[in-house]
Structure 1
Amino acid sequence: MAGYDRPALVAAARRSIRRGSKSFAAASRLFDRTTRERVWLLYAWCRACDDIADEQEHGRPVLPGPIGTRLAPENRLATIRTLTELAMAREATGTPAFDALGLLMQEVPLTRAMVEDVLTGFAMDADEWRPRSEADMLRYCYHVAGAVGVMMAAVMGVPADDRDTLDRACDLGIAFQLGNIVRDVWEDDAQGRCYLPVEWLAEADIPPGEVTKPHYRRALVPMIARACTLAREYEASARTGAARLAFRQRWAVLSAANIYGAIARKVERLGEHAWDHRVSTSPMEKARFIAAAWGEARRDPPIAPHPALTRGDFTTAASR
């Protein structure tokens, strides 16, 4: 069993979140110290898995190596799985981000099933999986983000038997990913990917592979609005769950919800011009969202219903 250098792993994880996500880094500062460090550790593992899967460095493209040196997607997935298995077995991996997962699993009750649900998302991308229906798109959102929300809730101390709160933590991750999908339509297309449902594209008479053609922008707008409506439903459910957390945890979660929710709202508001430039939030906007979340965290939100599809539907589908 590995003897982890906790301060070194926490320091490396802190550097990772600062480089990889200004939004999550800003929200994480609101946690108490212990929770904050554990959130960094979980982020570091997720970031490293993303980077291996996409051959990137903290979400940014890396210079291509010599011809013939790039790993095939299935080999990149195998690397992620091997390092993650070592981490879950509490064995040293030689990679701080994966050792961070091993350390975290010593400190909080993360389960193999939680980790496997996240790995399924990387497997879906390695298989060049595409959503056919709305339910398919939401299942993908679960595996690449909702399942991370469940792990984050466990890091914050939500017990495994509190299914409703874990479901709502999952809903926030799904809302975040829906925002990513609508923002990144052009970037995903450049990588040969599309996460909008085939059935939606067919209804809009947009042929496969032509989603970013200029003459289809107007037809794309109602589809984006539809995804943004879903994102609001999942975000509202998550806000109900956040009210059960300790104050500083609630403040941090609501800050992240405000920051990421704003991305989807901007995309929807911009309509056909949403992809002229990559939508983001400025430092000043982030500060305002964090301040607003402080007031929101002091009040009980309206109790929102669960969306039609949530965690149990996606984990069941994955097991079939």
Structure 2
Amino acid sequence: MSSASEPLPLPIEGIARDDLAAHAEETIAKGSKSFAAAAKLFAPETRRSAMMLYAWCRHCDDAVDGQILGFARAPADCAAKARERLDRIEADTMRALAGERALHPSFLSIADVVARHDLSPQLLLDHLAGYRMDVEGRLYETIEETLAYCYHVAGVVGVMMARVMGADGEATLDRACDLGLGFQLTNIARDIVEDAGAGRVYLPAVWLDEAKLKPSDLSDPTRRRAVGALAIRLVDCAEPYYRSALVGLSALPPRSAWAVATAHGVYRQIGMELKSAGAAAYGDRVSTGTLAKLRHVGQGAAKVASSRLGPSAPRPPELWTRPR
């Protein structure tokens, strides 16, 4: 999650869809260059809805995180205020779906996306539940519990994006969720040290015990080798989800599949670079450069073509599966 701290803007009334889309574009340009680059490959209408969905996710992320940065070490009243802000976000989301207009444009954007693509409101509530897990300072005992968190903050976004792209059917949505799970496992692996410094630990307690580490050790540079090994373990855990997600490309329109395949390559490379660097990447925020992103655009087209050549492999039954 982001560390932005700006307050929720004042409500804005009577915004046209073009204005909402422009607001979303500006949000993405500031919040995620990788997503903005991949989104350019979408067909115009798909791109607009994808941007508007992202704008809501980003607004929720920034609003909640700005109140709870360092929450684990904050006074109890700060945690209470964070819960209040999250309650307000959930209420404003539901108000937007009910047709109210005197709201921040991000809420109006998600209402438009829900109506156009017949999204279940439960998907939005599932996503907000991920922020609540952070607000509550949830700890995770097993990798399955970590994956459940990954579903709420990223997997369910993959499901919503797939619906925006016109995909349907539970099997295809499972593959979309798998991509979100891969993305979030990569994020967790990259940000272990930063998150630990903010009092957040997403690594399973079982893994920490096996590595003879305490949560406080994650931000201790003298334990960088052990922490690096856990990051690699997360990267390896993400791999079957990345492989599964590729199978879902064949169910998407060509341009949407190309955008997804590009994002797949960009994010997966972050994990591969973490794995290559090992302990040397301790505390660094690994990212992909412009040339690498361009290379993944080309490779993404090849992935799309390959996905359409033969029958799809079944989804491995051992993978964590989203709730129905």
Using the size of structure 2 for normalisation, the TM-score is 0.88
Match of 1:43? 54
Task: Give the Cα separation in 2 of the matches to 1:25 and 1:31.
Answer: 10
Structure 2 residue 179 is matched with structure 1 residue 172: yes
SS at the partner of 1:267? helix
Task: Give the Cα separation in 2 of the matches to 1:234 and 1:93.
Answer: 40
Which runs of 5 or more structure 2 residues have no equivalent in the other structure? 1-12, 71-76
Match of 2:161? 152
Match of 2:251? 244
Cα distance, 1:207 vs structure 2: 1.6
CA contact (8 A) 2:258 2:301 kept: yes
Match of 2:63? 52
Structure 2 residue 156 is matched with structure 1 residue 142: no
Structure 2 residue 320 is matched with structure 1 residue 310: yes
Structure 2 residue 122 is matched with structure 1 residue 121: no
Cα distance, 1:272 vs structure 2: 0.3
CA contact (8 A) 1:137 1:195 kept: yes
Cα distance, 1:69 vs structure 2: 9.0
CA contact (8 A) 2:79 2:135 kept: no
Match of 2:74? none
% of aligned pairs identical?
39
Q: 1:31 aligns with which of 36, 42, 55?
A: 42
Task: Give the Cα separation in 2 of the matches to 1:310 and 1:18.
Answer: 32
The 5 A counterparts of 1:181-260 are 181-260=188-267
Cα distance, 1:308 vs structure 2: 2.0
CA contact (8 A) 1:119 1:143 kept: yes
CA contact (8 A) 1:86 1:93 kept: no
CA contact (8 A) 2:24 2:51 kept: yes
Task: Give the Cα separation in 2 of the matches to 1:239 and 1:307.
Answer: 16
Residue by residue over 1:105-145, the C-alpha shift from the partner in whole angstroms, topping out at 9 and shown as x without a partner, is 22111101111111110111111101111101100000000
Cα separation, partners in 2 of 1:307 and 1:164, compared to 1, 3 Å: same
SS at the partner of 2:216? coil
Task: Give the Cα separation in 2 of the matches to 1:246 and 1:90.
Answer: 31
User: Which amino acid letter does the alignment assign opposite residue 108 of structure 1?
Assistant: H
Q: 1:87 aligns with which of 63, 71, 96?
A: 96
Cα distance, 1:94 vs structure 2: 2.4
Task: Give the Cα separation in 2 of the matches to 1:194 and 1:69.
Answer: 19
Cα separation, partners in 2 of 1:185 and 1:117, compared to 1, 3 Å: same
Between stretches 138-147 and 218-227, larger displacement belongs to 218-227
SS at the partner of 1:265? helix
Task: Give the Cα separation in 1 of the matches to 2:102 and 2:111.
Answer: 9
Residue by residue over 1:134-172, the C-alpha shift from the partner in whole angstroms, topping out at 9 and shown as x without a partner, is 10110000000000000000111112xx00000000000
Task: Give the Cα separation in 2 of the matches to 1:187 and 1:72.
Answer: 23
Task: Give the Cα separation in 2 of the matches to 1:246 and 1:138.
Answer: 28
Task: Give the Cα separation in 1 of the matches to 2:282 and 2:17.
Answer: 42
Q: 1:20 aligns with which of 28, 31, 34?
A: 31
Task: Give the Cα separation in 1 of the matches to 2:222 and 2:283.
Answer: 14
CA contact (8 A) 1:4 1:103 kept: no
Cα distance, 1:210 vs structure 2: 1.7
Cα distance, 1:307 vs structure 2: 5.8
CA contact (8 A) 1:118 1:144 kept: yes
Task: Give the Cα separation in 2 of the matches to 1:88 and 1:280.
Answer: 36
Cα distance, 1:226 vs structure 2: 1.7
How many pairs were matched up?
A: 302
Match of 1:64? none
Which runs of 5 or more structure 1 residues have no equivalent in the other structure? 62-67
